[in-house]
Amino acid sequence: MNTSEWLNLFLRWAHVFAAILWVGSTYYFTWLDGQMRRLEAAGDTGGVWMVHSGGFYTVVKQKTLGVPPSQVHWFRYEALATFVTGFLLLNLVYYHGGLLVDPIDPVG
C-alpha cells in the first residue's frame, strides 16, 4: 500500500468517527432540550435526572454562563472535524485520485 491509500483509509475512518460523535451529540442535546422545555411548561425547575456509569446527574438549564469559558466543552469541534476530514477526503479521492479526469475525452 502506498501513502495515498493509507491517508485515504485514515481520513475515511476519522470522518466516520467524527460524524458519529457529531450526530450523537446533536441527538442528545435535542432530546435534552425537549425534556427541559417539557419541564418548563409544567412549571418544574428541578432539572432532568440521568444515570450514567453508576453516577446520578442532575442537568439544570441556565440562562447565563456560571463557569469560566475555559471549562465549557464546545461540541462544535465535532462538526468542524467532520467537515475538515470530509473536505480532505474529497480532495484526496477526486482531485488527487484522478476521478475528475475523463479518460475517454481526447482533448483532456
* pLDDT of 107: 66
* pLDDT of 35: 92
Q: CA–CA separation, 18 vs 44, rounded Å?
A: 35
pTM (2 d.p.): 0.74
With contact defined as beta carbons under 8 Å apart, do 48 and 39 qualify? yes
Q: Where are the alpha helices (H) located in 2-75, listed in sequence order?
A: 3-42
* 64-87 tens-digit pLDDT: 988 888 888 778 899 999 999 999
* pLDDT of 38: 92
Cα 69 to chain center, whole Å?
Answer: 20
Each domain of the chain, given as residue ranges in start order, spans 3-95
- Cell triple for 42: 409544567
Which residues are CB-neighbours of 34 under 8 A, at least 6 positions away? none
pLDDT band at 104 (very low <50, low <70, confident <90, very high): confident
* 87-102 tens-digit pLDDT: 999 999 888 877 776 6
What amino acid is encoded at 94 in this protein? Answer: Y
With contact defined as beta carbons under 8 Å apart, do 60 and 53 qualify? no
